[in-house]
Structure 1
């Protein structure tokens, strides 16, 4: 990590501040005769995922593309995707507690995530909108992590120079990208290093 003092925190959403229980999603796949994780794997196909998180297509258009690739009847595919999307995850209590402690300690917190235009409604539904100082969305920026431009714009949005920002993400490739952009960065694998992160940010 950087030797400069961390004065702000940028934190990822999916896999960090929001966690997903695979059970409801797998239940939908089994109901429609799809293999477990088929919907997620299709959704993450780079040729449709990238435009969905860079503002080139809407979340609804992304969902239609996912449905079109499923090996089942088109009407059933559309229904399966709609059912799959009903579950929106839940806040991770440990990550949320960290965010609250960091803000209580006088540090700004920004949510920095690859997302679609569904991000802000999701944050409202999860009760996370007011838990951070700023939301940095790849869909709105038109550039996704780990591009250097994303991190530059994220630091600008939170009003802190890269060398004074701690970035937390669950994707090692993104963490490496953040470090290359001059940020201190930590790969989230769970709550066991929260005390370290608080020390880096100098909050009790």
Structure 2
């Protein structure tokens, strides 16, 4: 049953934060001496367990590098110029984190302004080490009512467990939430567990949706 609460639950990337920096995948592919298309396929195909906190960064990057070489020799050498070693993995890890580090300052300000009228939380698919870096670099995250990073809660959208985590953490009902994400599949997943949902396109459209969704404040009788 819904209560009288209203909680705006934001996605991060593509809504408040920018999507991956253009050219980042090509940069990482070059470091691996791999075609960008092949690297991009491996990067995303191996990603779900990393996002969901089921793999560490070294495990993820080892999987990516191995997938670029279908039959690696026993030494795990991918090519004469690249092997799976700690330095290579750390370089790729840091480049990856940096590629997702940009925020939309206008959306950050808007999300913060909403806290004057409603509760504001965040649910993002992001590996645990990326989450640590983002929390350190973006102190405004600590002002929200709840922050749920998939790598920390061990569940990634669109899995129902990711949304249930937020419901339980905020001691709310699913219908108390308006979930905002740029991916329609994630919004549909939120709606399937009973949340309200909005597919994000821009701030002005979202502001109009939220203004309509929030209860009208009536003057107090004297």
Q: TM-score range by the shorter chain?
A: 0.7 to 0.9
1: distance between equivalents of 2:10 and 2:137?
19
Equivalent residue in structure 1 for 2:60, among 59, 62, 67: 62
Equivalent residue in structure 1 for 2:214, among 190, 201, 204: 201
1: distance between equivalents of 2:123 and 2:173?
15
- Runs of 5+ unmatched residues, structure 2: 70-77, 218-222
TM-score (norm 2): 0.75
Counterpart of 1:49 in structure 2 is 47
Rate the CA distance shift 1:90–1:203 in 2: closer, same or farther, 3 A. Answer: farther
Mean Cα deviation higher: 159-168 or 54-63:
54-63
1:174 paired to 2:182 = no
Q: Is this contact kept in 2: 1:136–1:157, CA < 8 A?
A: no
Q: Tell which structure's C-alpha radius of gyration is larger.
A: 2
- Runs of 5+ unmatched residues, structure 1: none
Q: CA offsets per residue over residues 145-170 of structure 1, 9 Å max, x none? A: 12222212212212321111110111
Report the CA distance between 1:32 and its aligned residue: 5.5
Counterpart of 2:17 in structure 1 is 18
Say what the alpha-carbon RMSD is for the aligned residues. 3.0
2: distance between equivalents of 1:59 and 1:32?
16
**DSSP 3-state at the match of 1:57:** coil
Report the CA distance between 1:185 and its aligned residue: 0.6
2: distance between equivalents of 1:127 and 1:43?
29
Counterpart of 1:29 in structure 2 is 29
Aligned residues: 199
2: distance between equivalents of 1:21 and 1:41?
17
TM-score (norm 1): 0.80
Rate the CA distance shift 1:124–1:40 in 2: closer, same or farther, 3 A. Answer: farther
Report the CA distance between 1:173 and its aligned residue: 0.8
